[in-house]
Amino acid sequence: MNFPNNQSENNANARRNSAGIRHSFEMMGHLNRGDTIIAVSSPPGQSTRGLIRVSGPRAIEFLQEQTNHIANVNSSSDVLPQRVALRCELSFLNLPCIAYYFPTPHSYTGDDTIELQVPGHPALLEAVISHAIDFGIRLAEPGEYTFRSFTAGKIDLTQAEGIAATIAATSDSQLRAAELLKNGKLGSFSHKMVDTVATQLALVEAGIDFVDQEDVVPIEPFELNENLAEIQNDLSQLISRSRSWGSIEALPRVVLVGEPSVGKSTLFNALLGKERAVISALPGTTRDILAEPLRLTNHQQQQIEVMLIDIAGLGYTKAAIDKQAQIAAQQAIDQADLIVHILDATQDSHDEIEPPAHIPVLKVFNKIDAGQYKKNKHDFGISAQTGCGLEELKSHITQLIGSRGISLASDMLALQPRHEHALNKALSHVKQTRDILTMQSDQHGISDIEIVAGSLREALDELAAIGGEMTPDDVIGKVFANFCVGK
């Protein structure tokens, strides 16, 4: 099965179908594409530079009015920076600014768009926004820039979901999955399937609409069945070669467990290669649950990702806050995919833990560099302080996690719940249609032609909903509700 991955082809498909999605304006009722909108698009807080995005029919007018600068307006897609002095609400200041002009239809939104790079102090950014509002420009709603891109046919709904997922990603595997969505891999497939199913439906409906015309020959049951078999195979392959979005949101959990001061936090930092946890010789330093994605390399030399978790040291305590930490630690243990039980190699006796029976435990002796460690042939020793044995520990963790680790090199699509639902429903309708046709394989013409056409329409509706060609407004609303202002 071939998936179209050419971005220009995907954009052409999206533009071709844009007329069918313009009803989506009703979903965001008060929003008007005739408005010019503005928002800060850089992260909150102070920085060297802040980014302000202005999009709409008055974007150029705003730039020229506020800078006394005649923008180099042309229809070219080339974007050249222009250095200007920008007036703002703080009238005693003219802000040094780099302005980028993106003419319609080459901009992200499809409208004339100006991006202003100005000094990144929050007060200055707010002053520019206030000045623009006085000029008659409206503050953008969350996700409105991407919504405009969607309704302009520049991206489909799956690509919008990929953009939202990129913003929300908390791990490299989530970023990879979001990138595949954003690049239009799923959208291209759904557009292809919509065209293919629509063609078969048209052949079937010809037998209904033109039944009295001798020159119109409706498709035979066996031929339609063969065509639908290819569609069924393509859908089945995509579903089987994909994974659920939940599988990348929940990375395998590797929990570091041990008594206070055995070196859990030191090991946590050493495995991550950065100072994430506070380290102290005092027992009980770690009270919160610390979690960070950790990259490992499996036996196939592929990068995989797990969630490394540092919990409070286990032990009896009377302090209320420590009791809460113990409860949280136990919950982390119960939810673990692998427990790394860290023991102090300088001590002769150690407390045992009793994790749930289904969770594997890797017992590790830390502080073997202390000089008091007497190695047992069954022991696995490391020094979190010096790094001795850490590569072997990573290898052991990778082996025990096995296939549950999320591969960062995988091109496997991650399907969000609505994608899975639509694909499975479409597949079910195609199978149902084939079952009807199989019973009629020895007949001339399709006897239950209205039922067959209705089933194909159901499949078509499900597939069209994936890319946003025919999607209920409440679904579109949920997609764009995940965006922040400025995106």
User: What confidence score (pLDDT) does residue 440 get?
Assistant: 67
Higher pLDDT, 374 or 345: 345
User: What confidence score (pLDDT) does residue 377 get?
Assistant: 57
Whether the predicted pLDDT of 18 surpasses 70: no
| 401 band by pLDDT with thresholds 50, 70 and 90 | confident
8-17, 231-240, 300-309, 463-472, range with the lowest pLDDT:
8-17
47-56, 191-200, 405-414, range with the lowest pLDDT:
405-414
| 470 band by pLDDT with thresholds 50, 70 and 90 | low
Whether the predicted pLDDT of 73 surpasses 70: no
154-163, 369-378, 444-453, range with the lowest pLDDT:
369-378
Hey, what domains does the chain have and what are their CATH numbers? 37-156 (3.30.1360.120), 163-242+415-467 (1.20.120.430), 248-408 (3.40.50.300)
User: What confidence score (pLDDT) does residue 322 get?
Assistant: 63
Does the pTM surpass 0.95? The reply is no
218-227, 311-320, 413-422, range with the lowest pLDDT:
311-320
Measured CA to CA, the distance from residue 128 to residue 234 in angstroms comes to 52
| 399 band by pLDDT with thresholds 50, 70 and 90 | confident
Q: Residue-wise over 88-123: b if at least 16 C-beta within 10 A, else e?
A: bbeeeeebebebbbbbbeebbbbbbbbbbbbbbeee
Average pLDDT over residues 197-223: 73
